[in-house]
């Protein structure tokens, strides 16, 4: 069965002093029944990885090395101790013009380095209002998920762009309908065994106060958490809510 997964995304936040928050998370020893990770800024990944909490990067270049000033390869993240890397986050798609083809190449780079990719898809507010959510998600999945996905090498994160950092979330019914459709699409493309093995996270304004409701929705295997992953007091109750969910 799929293991529950709570992943934090610190985005462009975190200085040395903030490692104290990760230290508090480690000290709290959350349930071993839930997989956890924090995707930190590249500058902290190595130190985070030495603290005993699974760590991810937030992006990687498709190439292993080369003349790409300012970029970081998946191999570098793995070398620093990361186990995961986020690919296709909507902020990368918007701020850096990342296409589905680029996201696919980055996901393959993650695998080359032995990392599990946390691949993000999600519709904009305009697409949501136009009723295009599922069309958009199917297009993003087709374009950005490589062939050969497995339950160990990829985690799919459904993150409505309009819910990220806004305090807004879709209704439980809407999240349930989307996750159900994503599950069907995974089974269609990768077959029944792999299709049910790939975890689907929800992301977008998850916090302690809404976590239990969201984790009670069928086919929600956990969450990708931005703002509420920065502080142990905010993130640990989310991990506990995931542990308690049926």
Chain residues binding ligand PEP by CB under 6 A are 9, 11, 159, 164-165, 203-206, 224-228
Nearer to ligand PEP, 115 or 121 (CB): 121
Shortest spacing between CB 91 and ligand PEP, in angstroms: 7
- Of 61, 89, 123, 179, which is the active-site residue? 89
If DSSP codes are grouped into helix, strand and coil, which group holds residue 100? Answer: helix
- Of 61, 91, 159, 179, which is the active-site residue? 159
Shortest spacing between CB 202 and ligand PEP, in angstroms: 9
- Please tell me the distance from the alpha carbon of residue 80 to that of residue 244, in angstroms, as a whole number: 32
End-to-end CA distance of the chain: 13
Shortest spacing between CB 15 and ligand PEP, in angstroms: 19
Nearer to ligand PEP, 195 or 206 (CB): 206
Active site residue 193: no
Shortest spacing between CB 69 and ligand PEP, in angstroms: 25
Nearer to ligand PEP, 114 or 167 (CB): 167
Q: Enumerate the H helices of the chain as residue ranges.
A: 19-28, 42-49, 74-79, 90-95, 100-112, 125-129, 133-144, 172-190, 192-197, 208-215, 232-244
Nearer to ligand PEP, 222 or 227 (CB): 227
The total of other beta-carbon atoms located within 10 Å of residue 18's CB is 17
Which residue number has the CB closest to ligand PEP? 226
Nearer to ligand PEP, 187 or 212 (CB): 212
Active site residue 159: yes
- Please tell me the distance from the alpha carbon of residue 241 to that of residue 227, in angstroms, as a whole number: 17
Q: Name the CA dihedral angle for 7, 13, 18, 22, rounded to a multiple of 10 degrees.
A: 10
- Please tell me the distance from the alpha carbon of residue 157 to that of residue 224, in angstroms, as a whole number: 7
Shortest spacing between CB 187 and ligand PEP, in angstroms: 25
Which of 195, 199, 176 lies closest to 119 in space, CA to CA? 199
Tell me if 116 sits within 8 A of 153, measured CB to CB: yes
Catalytic site positions: 89, 159
């Amino acid at each position: 069965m799929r293991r529950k997964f709570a992943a934090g995304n610190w985005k462009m936040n975190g200085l040395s002093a903030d490692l104290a928050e990760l230290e508090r998370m480690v000290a709290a020893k959350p349930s071993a029944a839930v997989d956890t990770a924090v995707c930190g800024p590249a500058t902290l990944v190595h130190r985070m990885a030495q603290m005993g909490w699974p760590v991810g990067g937030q992006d990687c270049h498709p190439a292993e090395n080369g003349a790409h000033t300012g970029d970081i390869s998946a191999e570098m993240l793995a070398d620093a101790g990361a186990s995961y890397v986020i690919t296709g986050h909507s902020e990368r798609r918007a701020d850096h013009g990342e296409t589905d083809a680029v996201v696919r190449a980055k996901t393959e780079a993650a695998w080359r380095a032995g990392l599990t990719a946390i691949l993000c898809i999600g519709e904009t507010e305009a697409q949501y209002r136009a009723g295009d959510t599922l069309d958009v998600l199917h297009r993003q999945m087709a374009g950005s998920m490589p062939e050969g996905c497995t339950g160990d090498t990829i985690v799919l994160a459904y993150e409505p762009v309009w819910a990220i950092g806004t305090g807004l979330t879709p209704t439980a019914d809407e999240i349930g309908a989307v996750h159900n459709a994503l599950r069907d699409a995974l089974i269609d493309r990768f077959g029944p065994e792999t299709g049910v093995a790939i975890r689907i996270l929800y992301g977008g304004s998850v916090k302690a106060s809404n976590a239990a409701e969201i984790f009670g929705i069928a086919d929600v295997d956990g969450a990708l958490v931005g703002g509420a992953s920065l502080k142990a007091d905010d993130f640990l109750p989310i991990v506990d809510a995931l542990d308690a969910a049926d």
